[in-house]
Structure 1
Amino acid sequence: MPPWKELPASLDQRVRQLVVQLRRLKDHSGLSLAALAAKTHYSRSSWARYLNGKKLPPREAVEQLARVCGADPTRLLVLHELAAAAWPNATEEDGPEEEESAGTTTHRRAVRRTWVLLGAVAVLSAVLATVLLVTRPWQGEGVRPEAVQGSSQTPFVYVPGRAHPCDVKRQEGELRAGYSTTRTMLMDVNSTGWEILEAQCLLKYHGYDPGIPDGAYGERSKGAAKRFQGDHGLVVDGIVGPDTWKELRR
């Protein structure tokens, strides 16, 4: 399966998180874009636009992707609400609108955006309240996924400058920091998530400084990954994939 193109740097962080999660779900399923088109109501070209950050996917497309990949859509729909609030002139329709007067169209779009924004604010408030209760930022501690019931069910929320603890231990014959057990997830610049935090902690444990362990894969983390790859006889591209994970887990 060909590697993903890097998402546009101008893409809002909320939209980026949704697209990254949709990409991961597709990669785990092993389905091609053509196979997705055959199993959903959306064309191959539509999925290419959605998964490359060129167009906001409709809510129904997100639900259908989760269904064909055998995943619970709840987490993805929360991320979709947040992304919809960030997407300029967001609309979930994939096709021409009905003909109507310019004034009516403008009014309807304004009302739609208002309701989407209000819904997103409510969801975001609930998510942030949960995160604050768990992370207790006033105590200066980061959140570990096991501190929240079902880490795989807990959406990662990136907070710039928030350092998470790195407590690497050997479990079941491999090194783990407690944020993810993946050995295959592909990661490159502008990715965020529990897997990124796991890789940052493992790089730090091996003596390669990735910067603040905040769950965001930036240039400093990529530089640390390149140095690690070079010292371990791997392809030096800064992309953390199966081969790099294997060495990080040793």
Structure 2
Amino acid sequence: MGWNVSRWKAFPDSLDDRVQQLVVQLRRLKDRSGLSLSSMASKTGYSRSSWERYLNGKALAPREAVEALARVCGVGTARLLVLHELAEEAWRMEDAATAAADIPTRGGARRAVLIGVLTTVLLGALVVGLLVAAPWSDHGNSGKGTAATAHGVFAYQPGKTYPCAVRRKNGQLYAGYSTTRTAVLSRPGWDVVEAQCLLDHLGFDPGGVDGVDGEMTTRAVKRLQEKAGLATDGLVGPQTWKVLRG
């Protein structure tokens, strides 16, 4: 069953992109499985109202709920849990910012102390966020002048696909959307478009070049990995990029 975008409510404007990316994947699982909210509740142990909040961005689904839905839908949990980790960090930082705005202050001295404490907390959260994000960045290939920069900031558009013109340069294959050779794919973006183009070029159908690392793309990656003698985890990282680049 396809992903029926029109039946879903739009996300709140304030919802962080990392949370949106997780919710998009949860919505895709629900749509493709054909499960109703009531069925999801009975099969996962989380109430119908809870799933309604999770799938509309009103609350962050617990890790256990994400794992339960993946099991019910018969899909692997690795990629979903990466997305959940990123979404959870974004949610924590939003909660910290909201708490900071709600704390009452009385008197200049009290205000100065509270501001200092909150600044320390928020800076600490930012450092933690950077440390969590670091393993997924591609420092050698994400600066100005890369193909991804030339295409601008990636924004997923339902139904939109991208053309692929794969060429060999300096002995390696490139589709013109990203020059990465190390990025671990965990969210929609130009790196995913690049990987999907290369998969299709090598004869492994990713199910459309849309920039979203969905189930068909995962299956295509696994087939590539199996043929190349790699661990068939469906995750695109440095070793898989090496095969994709040829």
TM-score of the pair, normalised by structure 2: 0.48
Q: Greater CA radius of gyration, 1 or 2?
A: 2
Going by fraction, where is helix more abundant, 1 or 2? Answer: 2
TM-score of the pair, normalised by structure 1: 0.48
